[in-house]
Copies of this chain bind each other. A is one copy, B any other.
């Protein structure tokens, strides 16, 4: 089944460390940056473990994952409801935005062309007030 089997997911020291690292950031960070932060804090966590943990958190919907323009995966803790991001392309400052208009629009576009089981990705980039 594609329906996610919740699975056990044991709370280990490493997983807690990654979760805390995420909590200390306000914007998107790559797995490598998170790994570096943990290193500096003295937490010993393997890089592969950071990747694995981030993926699981993303699957569980506890963090957002998106691709920066050069294709690198970046993560950020987030509210649980469906939303999108307004990201400053200079400093990375991020605002969560949402609105039924887009959701409705994507759904109707998909329906119009007979597409089922629809999902979408939407990110907005710009210069934040501080960087303009």
**A residues with CB within 8 A of B:** 67, 71-73, 86, 88, 95, 97, 99, 101-102, 105-106, 109-110, 113-129, 132
Q: Is the CB of B123 within 8 A of A120?
A: yes
Q: How far is the CA of A88 from the CA of B119 in the complex (A)?
A: 11
Query: Nearest 10 pairs between A and B by C-beta?
Result: A115-B126, A114-B129, A118-B126, A122-B122, A71-B71, A120-B124, A116-B132, A97-B109, A117-B127, A116-B127
Q: How far is the CA of A118 from the CA of B124 in the complex (A)?
A: 7
Q: Is the CB of B110 within 8 A of A99?
A: no
Given A115-B132, A120-B122: 9 more A-B contacts, CB < 8 Å: A67-B71, A71-B72, A102-B102, A115-B128, A119-B125, A119-B126, A120-B125, A121-B121, A122-B122
Q: Is the CB of B122 within 8 A of A110?
A: no
